[in-house]
Amino acid sequence: MMNRRAIIAIARKDIRSITANIQVWLPMFMVPIIFSVLLPIIVAFSARASQGDIVSDMQIILDMLEKLPESSLRRIVGSLRTDQQKIAYIMFNYFMSPFFLMIPLMAASTVSIDSFVGEKERGTLEGLLLASVNMRSIFTAKVLAAFLPAIGVSLVSFVLFGVCANVSAWPLFGKIFFPHINWAPLVLLVMPAVSLFAILINVFISARVSTFQAGYQLGALLVLPLLAVMIGQFTGFMLLDTGILLAIGAILVSVDYALLRIIVRRLDRAWLFESQVR
C-alpha cells in the first residue's frame, strides 16, 4: 500500500532540488523559450516579409499543400486569400506541432534523469532506501516530481506560443487563428503521454547510471522517434491530424502502462543498492 504523506514529502523535496540545480532547470526553461517565444515571432515575420513575392523556401511549403490528404486543415488553408496567410497558418498549425513535442520530452527527461542519480550525487540515496517507505511510494514520488513540472512547463509554453503566434501574425489575419482543433489531442493526450514515457524510461536509466551527465546522454536517445515524426511531417508522409494524434496518444498510453508494470516489478531496494556501489 502506498504512503501518501511520504509520496508528497519526497516529491516536494525533489522539486526543491530541481530548482536549486542549474544543470537541471536551465535546459528545462531554455527549450520552451526558444520554441514558444522566439520561433513563432520568426515564423510570423518571415511570412509577413514575403510581401507577395514568395521566396523558394516558401513556395515549397505552398506546393506541399497539394500533397496533403483531405482534412479540415487543408480546407481552411485553401479558403485563405493570400499566400502569406496560407504560409503562416500551415506553419503554425501543421509544421510546429512535432517541434512543440520537444518541450514535454526535454522537460520530462531533464527532471526525471535527476530522480535517482541526483540522490546518488548528493549522497542521499542510501538514506532514502533505508527509510521506512515502500518502493512503490518512492517510485511514485519520483515520477510525480518529474511529471508535474514537465506538464506545467508544457502548458505554460503552449499558452505563450499561442499568444506570440496570434500577436505576431495579427497583421496578416486580423483575428485569432491559432490553435487549430488538431492541437486539442496533442496538448491533452499526446503531451502527457510523451512526458510519462520519457519519465519512465529516464527514471529507469537514472537508477542505473552513476552521474547526471551519463544519464542525460542516454536519455537524449528518446529524441530519435520524434525526429522520425518530424521527417514524416515535413515530407508530407504523415499528417498529424486529429485522428492520427488520437491514435498516437492511445498507443503511447498503452506503452506507458506496459512500461509502468515492468519497472514497478523491477525496482527494489537490493537492485538500487547494487546500482549505487557500481
Ordered by start, the domain boundaries in the chain are 4-277
**Interatomic CA distance for residues 224 and 153, integer angstroms:** 22
State the number of CA atoms in the 13 A half-sphere of 170 facing the CB. 6
pLDDT value of position 102: 82
Q: Do 30 and 127 contact (CB within 8 A), yes or no? A: no
Query: 167 or 272: whose pLDDT is higher?
Result: 167
As a whole number, mean pLDDT of residues 4-19 equals 79
pLDDT digits (tens, 9 = 90+) for 181-226: 888 898 999 899 988 888 888 777 766 666 656 555 555 666 667 7
Prediction pTM value: 0.80
Asked if the bond preceding 149 is cis, omega within 30° of 0, the reply is no
55 has a pLDDT exceeding 80? no
State the number of CA atoms in the 13 A half-sphere of 152 facing the CB. 10
Contacts 24+ apart (CB under 8 A), 158-164: 158/36, 158/100, 158/183, 158/187, 160/32, 160/36, 160/37, 161/35, 161/36, 161/37, 161/40, 161/96, 161/100, 164/36, 164/37, 164/40, 164/41
Q: Do 90 and 78 contact (CB within 8 A), yes or no? A: no
Using 50, 70 and 90 to split pLDDT, how confident is the model at 136? Answer: confident
pLDDT value of position 274: 60
pLDDT digits (tens, 9 = 90+) for 233-267: 666 556 667 788 888 889 989 998 998 888 777 77
